[in-house]
Amino acid sequence: MATTEIGGLTKKDFVSDQEVRWCPGCGDYSILAAVQAVLPSLDIPREKYAFISGIGCSSRFPYYMNTYGFHTIHGRAPAVATGLKIARPELSVWVITGDGDALSIGGNHFIHLLRRNVDLKVLLFNNRIYGLTKGQYSPTSEVGKKTKSSPDGTVGSPFNPIALALGAGATFVARTVDVYPQHLKEILGRAARHRGTAFVEIYQNCNIFNDGAFKSITEKEIRNDAQVELLHGKPLVFGKNKDRGIRLADNGLEVVSIAGGDSPDLMVHDESRDNPSLAFELAQMEHPRQPIPIGVFRAVERPTFDREMNDQIARQIAERSPGDLDQLLNEGDVWDV
């Protein structure tokens, strides 16, 4: 790949020559367009990007980016991306995954990536279904969901990706939606600039096998009442007329009326709070009993795994010299074959 000039890039520079082969109307198109629109603003040469994916509809993503990338194996994108970031720390490495890829077979890799705080950007496309394999229930499918693999409805409780990420110690945790292009780009920009593992759950529609998965909270007529936007330093207010808010009560978060200007001790969002307990409380909010939060739940600084690992390697080289691989292989007990 030819070297590119910083500051001279546009969205078109990140569009590959490959035909995009998602189903017409898929939410993945919106996410792809948002990523391609955000990257030029980061002042990073195009050859310094790498997109790593696992298996699933979302995992076609690297083909459509005019950057470096790997289409790896099911659930293992975090492991491959971790190795790449340690070996090439100067790269901006992104992990593209889905709710099945990350939270089922890839669950172990996913939680340890978050725990280690590797400087990677993780985009989890959540459509609450296995789309590539034609409509089986996934780890995020709601209870009672009737699918090809659960004809009488699912009986297991779904994973909450945001709560899982917070529980694993992720330093940046956010949620956005495929049909909110401006919000999507803002969150992607925030994630890209975060040092450490930046995890973004993206509600994404699969119009073939799970159409309308998030319709109850994204329809224009109801979304102001069904969602609350998390804004750092701002009270949690929502509703078409901004007449409701969220308050921290003895039994957790509760919805209160603020009609007439009354503001009864509304919770002020603090994404930089080191203790993730309140962010975890927000992650438990579910519609219709409470509004669904979108935005940044947590954004804190912590040493990154890749930086610490490379510093450790540098110290060892300084103390012991770089070493000699031939000498290592030929010392001690050896034999001819």
Q: What CATH number corresponds to the domain at position 102?
A: 3.40.50.970
Q: Does 329 reside within a domain?
A: no
pTM of the entire predicted model: 0.93
Cα distance between residue 26 and residue 291, in whole Å = 25
Q: Does 232 reside within a domain?
A: no
Quote the strand ranges of the chain, DSSP E: 49-53, 68-71, 92-98, 121-126, 172-177, 198-203, 227-230, 237-238, 244-249, 252-257, 292-299
Q: Does 138 reside within a domain?
A: yes
Q: Is 158 helix (H, G, I), strand (E, B) or coil?
A: coil
What DSSP state is assigned to residue 287? T
Nearest residue to 26 via CA among 55, 57, 54: 57
Which two three-digit tokens encode residue 219?
A: 């329809």
pLDDT at position 29, please?
97
Which two three-digit tokens encode residue 134?
A: 């034609």
Residues 6+ apart with CB under 8 A from 334: none
Quote the strand ranges of 145-238, DSSP E: 172-177, 198-203, 227-230, 237-238
Nearest residue to 282 via CA among 37, 291, 178: 291
Bridge partners, residue 50, by sequence: 68, 93
Residues 6+ apart with CB under 8 A from 150: 136, 137, 141
Residues 6+ apart with CB under 8 A from 184: 30, 31, 34, 176, 177, 178, 202
Q: Does 96 reside within a domain?
A: yes
Q: Does 116 reside within a domain?
A: yes
pLDDT tens, position by position, for the chain (337 residues)? 656 656 689 999 999 999 999 999 999 999 999 999 999 999 999 999 999 999 999 999 999 999 999 999 999 999 999 999 999 999 999 999 999 999 999 999 999 999 999 999 999 999 999 999 888 999 999 999 998 999 999 998 999 999 999 999 999 999 999 999 999 999 999 999 999 999 999 999 999 999 999 999 999 999 999 999 999 999 999 999 999 999 999 888 999 999 866 667 999 999 999 999 999 999 999 999 999 999 999 999 999 999 999 999 999 999 988 888 888 888 888 777 7
Cα distance between residue 239 and residue 58, in whole Å = 32
Q: Does 41 reside within a domain?
A: yes
Residues 6+ apart with CB under 8 A from 54: 72, 73, 74, 75, 76, 77, 97, 98, 101, 102, 106
Question: Which alpha helices (H) appear in 56-144, and where do they start and end?
Answer: 77-87, 99-100, 107-116
Q: Does 197 reside within a domain?
A: yes
Cis, peptide link before residue 264, omega less than 30° from 0: no
Residues 6+ apart with CB under 8 A from 226: 216, 217, 218, 287, 288, 291, 292
Please give the tally of structural domains in the chain.
Answer: 1
Can you give the residue range of the structural domain that contains 113? 11-213+300-306
Cα distance between residue 291 and residue 283, in whole Å = 11
What pairing do the DSSP bridges indicate for beta strands 292-299 and 172-177?
antiparallel
pLDDT at position 262, please?
65
Q: Does 120 reside within a domain?
A: yes
pLDDT at position 8, please?
86
Which two three-digit tokens encode residue 194?
A: 């975060």
Cα distance between residue 294 and residue 173, in whole Å = 10
